[in-house]
Amino acid sequence: QVQLVQSGAEVKKPGASLKVSCKASGYTFTTYGINWVRQAPGQGLEWMGWISAYNGNINFAQKLQGRVTLTTDTSTSTAYMELRNVTSDDTAVYYCARGYKKYYHMDVWGKGTTVTVSS
């Protein structure tokens, strides 16, 4: 079945970088894109960005531009999200979610990766 499997929970110190992976299976990886969405404790969903697994086209949320890098590895059907210079405001559950195009719905979600930023 179609699924996205994310990497495990991480604890980071302020100023560090974090990298979350999202391995896709059950479909042709390059046919779709991958969205990254995060949810701070007790808060709503925040869209971070979208990357096309077909051609690498990327859209970022403006507030994160300059700190976030999205990549894909088509040989392993894996998407990556790297966030630099993290602060306590980046403490959240990070989700990857499949999206055909940047303005499409997100039809398959990973289970989430919990990231805690603490000194």
Q: Report how far apart, in Å, the C-alpha atoms of 27 and of each of 6, 20, 79 are.
A: 16, 21, 14
16 or 40: whose CB is closer to other proteins?
40
Interface positions with other proteins (CB under 8 A):
35, 37, 44-47, 49-50, 59-62, 95, 97, 102-107, 109-112
Nearest distance in Å: CB 47, other proteins: 4
Nearest distance in Å: CB 76, other proteins: 22
24 or 110: whose CB is closer to other proteins?
110
- Tell me the C-alpha distance between 96 and 114, whole Å: 12
Closest CA to 108 of 65, 67, 77: 77
